[in-house]
Each structure stands twice: as C-alpha cells, then as structure tokens.
Amino acid sequence: MQRDLHYLRKNYEKGALDKEQLPSNPYELFDIWFTEAREHVSVDEVNAMGISAIGTDGFPKTLIVLLKEIDHGSFIFYSNYNSEKGKAMEMNNKVSLHFFWPALERQVIIKGLVSKVSREKSLAYFKQRPRGSQLGAWASDQSSSVPSRAYLEQRLKSFEEKFKDQEIPLPDHWGGYSVSPVSVEFWQGRPNRLHDRYTYEIKDSAWKITRLAP
C-alpha cells in the first residue's frame, strides 16, 4: 500500500500558552483545560485518553481508555487485569497517558507510575456501571483469542442467565488502576509549528516548570 499524505496540513491558531498563565502545579491547568474541552461543542468523549505501556513482547502499545476520576493527584481508570495491557503494567509500572483535544489544538502527556486501586474502590465504581457493562466485564476475556462474534454473544447470554434477578458481583480479574504522575506536559498548537510546550516535572517534592522547543 502507498499513500501520499504530504498535502494534509493545517495551521494551528486557536490559542496560546504563556508562562504567566501557568499555575504552580499541573492539576490546576489540567482542570481548566479539561473543563474547556468538556464544554466545547466539537469535543466528544473528553475523558478518552491513550495509555501506553511496554508489553510482555518488549513493544510499546497504546490503547484508548476512559479517565474516571482524579483522586489525590492520581488519574484513575478501570480495566481487565488479565488483559494484554494489564499484564504489561504488571511487568512494568511505567506508563504514559495522552489526551488529545484537536478542536482546541491541545494535548496533555503524562508520564507516571501505575498501580491497582483498592478492591473497595473498584467495587464502588463497578456498582455504578450499567448492568450491561457489568455483564460485559464477566463475558469478555479481554485480549484473548475468540472464534467469533457469536461466541462473545453466547458468553454474555450465559452470564445474563447466571446472574438473573440478582446483583452482579465484581469479577476478581477486573478493577481500577491509578497513575501517579512524575511529569505532565501541556501542548498548545501555534502558527508555523512554533507550538507552546511546557512540562511539569516533580523534583524534590516540588513541580519544576520547563518550556520545551516545539
């Protein structure tokens, strides 16, 4: 396959990020940007974020997950512990999160250390999920090979019958992850590819702000 994409270009001109605008910690700026993205009519699933981890095969891989909470400075999402990314994070707890809001020409890149949240916290969130999503957590052996779509639908049906007229329990293989940042980069598109980039890095328990060349 060949495809020439050289003609795909755009000029970034929807905003600027000056050092005078930067708060002392990255969470304040993230909250401002997240709120503006959530209120923007052209941003869909504002909490969608890429997570990159080094797999058991030594290759990095990025998947989209949904941010569900920021708690005491940690970014929390939920997934299957036995999935490919779950096994990767078990082996190497250094990960990267990536938010991209093209309508605002903004990105946020977070490097951090991932760990599992408590089972109590996972259960509290699991109870809030729609019943269909709860059943899906039981029906899908995430990342495993399956023979067909019909196989997945049959597994879902079997768990519908198993848990009929009762509360669905939290699976042992499913729960939350918490990413504690060591650096947070804010990227604002600017004309002529001279983008504004600032990174917050934790140094001696304080955040150090550095401007990066685009």
Active site residues: 193
For residues 84 and 144, the answer to whether their CB atoms sit within 8 Å is: no
For 75, half-sphere exposure in the C-beta direction (CA atoms, 13 angstrom radius) is 31
What would the 3-class secondary structure string for 98-116 be?
EEEEHHHCEEEEEEEEEEE
For residues 181 and 79, the answer to whether their CB atoms sit within 8 Å is: no
State how far the Cα of 169 lies from the Cα of 163, in Å rounded to an integer.
9
Question: Residue 44 burial (CB < 10 Å; 0-12/13-18/19+)?
Answer: exposed
How far does the chain reach from its first CA to its final CA, in angstroms? 31
Question: Residue 33 burial (CB < 10 Å; 0-12/13-18/19+)?
Answer: buried
